Amino acid sequence: DSGVTQTPKHLITATGQRVTLRCSPRSGDLSVYWYQQSLDQGLQFLIHYYNGEERAKGNILERFSAQQFPDLHSELNLSSLELGDSALYFCASSGERGDYEQYFGPGTRLTVT
Amino acid sequence: GENVEQHPSTLSVQEGDSAVIKCTYSDSASNYFPWYKQELGKGPQLIIDIRSNVGEKKDQRIAVTLNKTAKHFSLHITETQPEDSAVYFCAAMNSGGYQKVTFGIGTKLQVIP
């Protein structure tokens, strides 16, 4: 158990809908990262937040957004969902800047029908 | 941006044999190279990492080597066991930036009892 929690574990929704994925980092970790894992694209970095501030963006679509709250949990919002958004979404956390190790949560499996 | 290539995509070994997975990276500014193991239905788990000021690191049956000049790094697993069967990902990060991690495509390792 990495100490990172994600909810929900599974999510099934229809095209055009909006969903919110939640991540709680390990106790004391300030950074949260979001990744998308699909069969044909592997693990793709989406976005990184540090202590509430956005630090880096990867291949995140404009339909997706994220935020990190004062209690350090983070949410990834996916809107206008398309079939191609079906994937596993992971968050990872790490500690102070300079602490490179990222610890992954169990993931949320999103299925868009 | 960074590009990480990983070979092979699948690897089958007999129990007790060694397994080697190789990765190359493109950005000479990358200075942190973690390896992750992902079992079915779980999030990636950090198993070993190496920083650019070190050429080799070992942890029991797992070792990683780094050649900065050639921009490649490798994972070595000795005395493989069935529980080593999983997908392994290499990754590269520039810690001087905003800790954006680029992953390889993954290697599915099967250890045959």
Count of helix runs (H) and strand runs (E) in chain A: 0, 11
Q: Are B4 and B91 in contact (CB under 8 A)?
A: yes
Amino acid at A20: T
Minimum-distance CB partner of A42 among B34, B43, B105: B105
Question: How many contacts does A have with B, using Cβ atoms within 8 A?
Answer: 61
A93 touches chain B (CB under 8 A): no
Q: Give me A22's structure tokens.
A: 């939640």
For residue B9, what is the nearest residue in chain A, using CA coordinates? A42
In a structure prediction context, what are the per-residue pLDDT tens digits for chain B, which is 113 residues long? 789 999 999 999 999 999 999 999 999 889 999 999 999 889 999 999 998 888 999 999 999 999 999 999 999 999 999 999 999 999 998 876 566 788 999 999 999 99
How many C-beta neighbours within 10 Å does residue A36 have? 23
Question: Shortest Cα distance from B91 to chain A (angstroms)?
Answer: 10
Residue A97 has pLDDT above 60, yes or no: no
B87 touches chain A (CB under 8 A): no
A86-92: average pLDDT: 96
Please report which confidence band the pLDDT of residue A59 belongs to, taking 50, 70 and 90 as the band edges: confident
Minimum-distance CB partner of B100 among A42, A58, A106: A58
Q: A27: closest CA among A97, A75, A94? A: A94
